[in-house]
């Protein structure tokens, strides 16, 4: 087993402002230091300091296209990009204060969160991070989508995502593979933006959702190609799916040791794997878990 590292938090609060993709509402986020063992906790500052929901897989609400958390009526919405930033930078304990339910979409990636967190120092804490070592293959599927956790012999954490849009050649088939370290996350995954087909965006707007979002806020694909934007990586869509997966698996509250391979996986399937991995393999209570 990989030697567990010390838990980390940030040295001082740092803020990010923006608007929610789904609601269009302005939102202010404050990342704050937290004690060892607290894990990642979202606090609804607009409601009060007791309105809290821990970032744990069992609190994921069943909503499409994003990861929302809900506990005893307290909701934090679209948390996956912030969770990916915290996990990618190996920040284990953090209080995330928000004055609306939905996190800001920023540019559709984790880059704004990473830049904010990198603007302050991290602090090692006097406790080891909970470790989750995958020792046997675990596979979950939903129709043509599947996700699999595999053991590794080198003590690393790898994410591999296979994307397949067989009827939309503008996206087509892509794959991404990353060794999840802070350096590689910053450079190769954090800048990768969420994407949507133009017809999907139009359908959401008809439902009264996403009306404030423009093609400059994410990657939007028409039948002819990318609309009003440029790719940062040739396989940016697959890399973004890897980003989402990192954020969703951070709901384990553990340092993962293993190789995760996903094929057309969804947030729902990602969270199902997170719950299964905690049940099977965690040897220490996940961060934020109560005894």
How many residues appear in the chain?
291
Other Cβ atoms within 10 Å of 94 Cβ, number: 24
Report yes or no: 164 and 34 within 8 Å, Cβ to Cβ: no
Helix, strand, coil percent content, the chain, rounded in steps of 5? 25, 35, 40
3-class SS of residue 85: helix
Candidates 81, 240, 259, 267; catalytic one: 267
Report yes or no: 242 and 189 within 8 Å, Cβ to Cβ: yes
Helices (runs of H) and strands (runs of E) counted in the chain? 6, 19
**Known catalytic residue: 224?**
no
- Give the whole-angstrom CA distance, residue 286 versus residue 282: 7
Pairing of strands 26-33, 94-98: antiparallel
DSSP label of 22: T
Q: How far, CA to CA in Å, does 12 sit from each of 31, 32, 160? A: 8, 6, 33
Nearest to 268 by CA among 182, 142, 90: 142
Other Cβ atoms within 10 Å of 207 Cβ, number: 9
Report yes or no: 20 and 103 within 8 Å, Cβ to Cβ: yes
Q: What residues are annotated to the active site? A: 267
């Amino acid at each position: 087993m990989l030697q567990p590292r010390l838990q980390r938090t940030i040295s001082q609060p740092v803020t990010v402002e923006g608007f929610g993709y789904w609601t269009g509402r302005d939102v202010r986020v404050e990342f704050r230091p937290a004690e060892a063992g607290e894990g990642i906790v979202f606090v609804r500052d607009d409601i009060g300091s007791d309105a809290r929901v821990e970032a744990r897989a069992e609190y994921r609400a069943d909503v499409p296209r994003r990861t929302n958390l809900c506990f005893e009526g307290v909701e934090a919405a679209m948390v996956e990009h912030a969770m990916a930033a915290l996990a990618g930078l190996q920040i284990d304990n953090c209080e995330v204060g928000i004055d609306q339910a939905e996190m800001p979409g920023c540019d559709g990636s984790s880059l704004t969160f990473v830049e904010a967190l990198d603007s302050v120092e991290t602090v090692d804490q006097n406790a080891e991070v909970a470790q989750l070592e995958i020792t046997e293959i675990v596979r979950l599927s939903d129709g043509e989508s599947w996700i699999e956790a595999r053991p590794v012999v080198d003590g690393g954490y790898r994410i591999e995502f296979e994307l397949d849009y067989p009827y939309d050649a503008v996206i087509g088939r892509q794959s991404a593979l990353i060794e999840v370290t802070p350096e590689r996350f910053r450079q190769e995954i954090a800048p990768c933006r969420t994407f949507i087909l133009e017809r999907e965006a139009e359908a959401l707007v008809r439902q009264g959702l996403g009306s404030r979002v423009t093609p400059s806020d994410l990657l939007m694909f028409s039948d002819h190609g990318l609309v009003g934007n440029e790719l940062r990586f040739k396989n940016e869509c697959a890399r973004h799916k890897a980003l989402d997966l990192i954020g969703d698996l951070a709901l384990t509250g553990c340092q993962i040791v293993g190789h995760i391979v996903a094929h057309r996986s969804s947030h729902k399937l990602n969270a199902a794997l997170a719950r299964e991995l905690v049940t099977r393999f965690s040897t220490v209570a996940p961060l934020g878990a109560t005894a």
